[in-house]
Amino acid sequence: MGRLGTVDPSSYSQPDLITTEHSVLNWKVDFAATKLQGSVVHRFNVLSSNLEKILLDVRDINVTNATLLAGGSELPINYFISDPVNDIGQKLTLELPAGTAKGSLNVRIDYETSSSASGLQWLNPTQTLGKQHPYMFSQCQAIHARSVVPCQDTPAVKFTYDAVIEHPTELTALMSAIIDKKQPGKTHFKQEVPIPAYLVAIAIGRLVSRPLGENSNVWAEEAIVDACAEEFSETATMLKTASDLCGPYVWKQYDLLVMPPSFPFGGMENPCLTFVTPTLLAGDKSLADVVAHEIAHSWTGNLVTNKNFEHFWLNEGFTVFVESKIVGRMQGAKELDFKMLSNLTDLQECLRTQLSGTPELTKLVVDLSNCGPDDAFSSVPYIKGSTFLRYLEDLLGGPTVFEPFLRDYLKKYAYKSIETNDFKSALYDYFKDTEQKDQLSVVDWDLWLTSEGMPPILPKFDESLSNVTTGLAKLWSNETVSKLSDNSDIKQTISIHQLIDFLGKLIESKDIVDLNEDKIELLESTYKLKQSKNAEVRFRLNRLIIRARLLGRLEEIIEFANSNFRMKFCRPIYRDLAAWPEAKPAAIRNFVKVKDQMMTVCSHTIEKDLGLKTI
C-alpha cells in the first residue's frame, strides 16, 4: 500500500497544507437501513496559498453533494472518490476554486454511511438486554471515523465539534461531547476541547443512568445499570487521583457507558463518555482497573495525542503507566509493581502467539507503511511502553522526580499531537539543568525504540506478590494430580488478581505434566473457577481446557467465545482453536455463523487468525 501521506501513513489528508478546526454534524439515525444520513460542515484552516484541492479520508461513504460556503453564498464543488485500499479506505478529493487563499474555509458535504460501515455497529432488539428496542454504537479508533464521516482521519489533526442527532424518541442519544439541548427525538451536542477524529463517538439505545459522582454518571440498559453503578463506584476517587497526578481535568463531564457484549475493546476513552465492556462486571470491582486506564487517557491520548499510530505507545504506554500509578495510590506500591509484572506475563504471551510471525511489530515505534493500524494492534505499545517509562522513572530518581516531569510534559503538549522525538526533547529539556542530566546519557534510545521482543531492560519491581503466582504456576505445571491433591501449598489464600496472574503463567508454562481432565477439574475445584463471574478467570480457564485438548468441552469453549466479542478474549481463543486440528473446523463454522454480530475490527482480525484471510 505504501505511505498514504507524509504526516500519517494511514491517512490521505494533508495536515501540513490544511487542518480541520471545527465540524458540525447533522445526522438522522436510520435503524431500518442501518445508516447515518445527513451532512458535515467542516471549517478548515488553509495553511498553503493557492491550494487546489482538499483530500479527505472516507470508507464506503456515499457522498451526494459538496458545497463551498462563503459569505452567505453556496458554491457547488467537484468531488471524486478513489478506488478502495483494503482495510484502509478511500480518498475523497474536493476541488477548490483557483486562487483559494490561506485562512478559514467552510465546506459542507452531504452524505450517508454504508449499511455496513466499519465504524458502526447496529443491534436488533433481540441482541439487547431489554429485547424491545434497537441499539447502535460507534468505534472509530484507529481509522474507522472515515466510515462515519468524511474527515481528516488522522490523530495529527484535532478539532472541536457540534452535533445535532435525530433519533427515535423512545431512545437516548449519547456522544463524546456534552449534551447541549434535548428535544423529543433530537439531541444537540457540543465538544469544546479539540479532539482527533478517532474520538468522535455516538451510541443510541434504551439507556438509563445512575450517578457516580458530582460530574459523573454510568449509563447502561435498565437490567444492569444498578450493578454497573456498584461495580464502578470508585470512579470519582480514580478521577480525583488521576487529576492529582496529571493536572486539571478539562473535559467537564466523565460518564461511563456499559456497552453490549459485541463491543470489541475493554474500554474506549471517548471524551466525556468512556465506553466499557460488560465483561468488567465481575461483581467484586476486581476488573474496574480498566476504568482507571480510560480515565488516565483524559490526559495521555486525548489531551496529548500521538501524531500517527506508529507512535501509539505515546498514547497507550503513558496511559498504562498512569493507570498503574492510580492503582498504586489507591491500593499500595506492592499492587502497582504486581500489576506491571502481570502485564509483562501478558506481553510474553502476545509475543509468543499473536506476533510470532511479525517481529517488526514488536518494536516500540513501528513502521505502518504497509500495515494498517488494526493489524498492528497488540499489547506491545501498552506494556513495552509503560515499562520504558518505569525504567526512566527509576533511572532519574523515582516518582518524586519523575511525576513533576510528567505533569510538565502533559502541560507542555496539551491540545497537541506529537511524535516520540517530541517526548524525548521534553525529557531532556526538563532535566537539562539538573543532576539527572548525566543519567539521561545512559539511555539507549535506539535499543528501546527499535529493538524487537521483550523490553531490553526490566526495571526492579517488588516481586513479593508475583513470586507467589510464579511458585503456583511451577507447582501445577511440574506435579502430577495425585501429588497436587496432597500438597497444602495449592490451598493458600490468594487475591483475585493473583489468581488471574497464576493462570496466565500456567498457560505460558512450556510443559504441563498430566494436563488432562483430572488436572483441569482439580484446578476448577481448588480455585472455584466454575463459579467465577470474572471474565479474565474464565478466559484463562478456557485456554487451559483447549491446551488439555478436552474435545468434550468444546461446546463450553465456543459458548464463552460467543458470550462477548472483546478482542482480548476472542482472538486468543480462536487462535488456540485454529492450532487444534480436531477443533478448528468447529471454530470456523461458529465464526462464520456469528461474524456479522462482530464489529469489523474484530471479525477482520479473527479471519486472519483462523487463516481465512491473508491480506
List, for residues 375-428, the tens digit of each pLDDT value.
999 999 999 999 999 999 999 999 999 999 999 999 999 999 999 999 999 999
Residue 478 and residue 363 share a domain: no
The Cα 163–Cα 187 span in angstroms is: 8
Residue 46 domain flag? no
Domain that holds residue 496: 463-610
Residue 579 and residue 480 share a domain: yes
The Cα 195–Cα 303 span in angstroms is: 8
Residue of 254, 382, 430, 527 with catalytic role: 382
Please, what is the average pLDDT of the chain?
A: 97
Residue 418 and residue 377 share a domain: yes
Cis before 142 (ω within 30): yes
pLDDT digits (tens, 9 = 90+) for 513-535: 999 999 999 999 999 999 999 99
**Is 293 annotated for ligand binding?**
yes
Joined together, the cell numbers standing for residue 486 give 496432597
Residue 262 domain flag? no
Task: Please report which confidence band the pLDDT of residue 511 belongs to, taking 50, 70 and 90 as the band edges.
Answer: very high
Q: By the 8 A CB rule, do 394 and 459 touch? A: yes
Final residue before a domain boundary, out of 396, 425, 450: 450
Statement: residue 71 has pLDDT above 90: no
Residue 488 and residue 360 share a domain: no
Helices 333-352/313-331 angle, 10° precision = 140
Statement: residue 615 has pLDDT above 70: no
| Distances in whole angstroms, Cα of residue 204 to Cα of each of 140, 166, 259, 325, 584 | 15, 10, 11, 34, 36
pLDDT digits (tens, 9 = 90+) for 358-384: 999 999 999 999 999 999 999 999 999
Task: Please report which confidence band the pLDDT of residue 190 belongs to, taking 50, 70 and 90 as the band edges.
Answer: very high
Residue 436 and residue 483 share a domain: no
Residue 162, Cβ density class (10 Å: 0-12 exposed, 13-18 middle, ≥19 buried): middle
Over range 89-101, report the average pLDDT: 96
Residue 323 domain flag? yes
Over range 61-65, report the average pLDDT: 98
> Quick one: DSSP state of residue 457?
S
The number of beta carbons lying within 10 Å of the beta carbon of residue 107 is: 23
CATH number at residue 434: 1.10.390.10
Joined together, the cell numbers standing for residue 225 give 445499570
Residue 339 and residue 407 share a domain: yes
Joined together, the cell numbers standing for residue 577 give 482453536
Share of the chain above pLDDT 70, in %: 100
Final residue before a domain boundary, out of 450, 481, 512: 450
For residue 378, give the amino acid letter.
Answer: S
Residue 602 and residue 469 share a domain: yes
Residue 318 domain flag? yes
Task: Please report which confidence band the pLDDT of residue 87 belongs to, taking 50, 70 and 90 as the band edges.
Answer: confident
Over range 462-475, report the average pLDDT: 98
**Is 567 annotated for ligand binding?**
yes
Q: By the 8 A CB rule, do 109 and 66 touch? A: yes
The Cα 257–Cα 167 span in angstroms is: 18
Q: Residue for cell digits 507503511?
A: 369
**Is 531 annotated for ligand binding?**
no
Quote the pLDDT of residue 1: 74
> Quick one: DSSP state of residue 615?
-
The Cα 235–Cα 168 span in angstroms is: 31
Q: Residue 415 catalytic?
A: no
**Is 264 annotated for ligand binding?**
yes
Final residue before a domain boundary, out of 415, 450, 485: 450
Residue 592 and residue 473 share a domain: yes
Q: Length of the chain, please? A: 615
Quote the pLDDT of residue 186: 98
Q: Residue for cell digits 510538565?
A: 408
Residue 472 and residue 406 share a domain: no
Statement: residue 180 has pLDDT above 90: yes
Residue of 112, 231, 294, 536 with catalytic role: 294
Residue 551 domain flag? yes
CATH number at residue 520: 1.25.40.320
For residue 498, give the amino acid letter.
Answer: Q
**Is 568 annotated for ligand binding?**
yes
Buried b (16+ CB within 10 A) or exposed e, 179-194: beeeeeeebbbebebb
Q: Residue for cell digits 463551498?
A: 68
User: If we measure between CA atoms, which residue out of 33, 44, 89 comes closest to residue 66?
Assistant: 44
Residue 343 domain flag? yes
DSSP β-ladder status, 35-46 and 18-30: antiparallel
Q: What total of structural domains would you count in the chain?
A: 2
The Cα 282–Cα 537 span in angstroms is: 10
The Cα 46–Cα 105 span in angstroms is: 7
Task: Please report which confidence band the pLDDT of residue 270 belongs to, taking 50, 70 and 90 as the band edges.
Answer: very high
Helix or strand run (H / E) with residue 542 = helix 535-547
Residue 130 domain flag? no
Q: How many CA atoms lie within 13 A of 371 on its CB side?
A: 14
**Is 175 annotated for ligand binding?**
no
Residue 256 domain flag? no
Q: Residue 382 catalytic?
A: yes
**Is 349 annotated for ligand binding?**
no
List, in order, residues 6 or more apart from 612 with CB less than 8 Å away. Answer: 588, 591
Residue 316 and residue 446 share a domain: yes
Residue 475 and residue 544 share a domain: yes
> Quick one: DSSP state of residue 85?
B
The number of beta carbons lying within 10 Å of the beta carbon of residue 283 is: 12
Q: By the 8 A CB rule, do 5 and 154 touch? A: yes
Residue 350 and residue 386 share a domain: yes
pLDDT digits (tens, 9 = 90+) for 239-268: 999 999 999 999 999 999 999 999 999 999
The Cα 88–Cα 369 span in angstroms is: 12
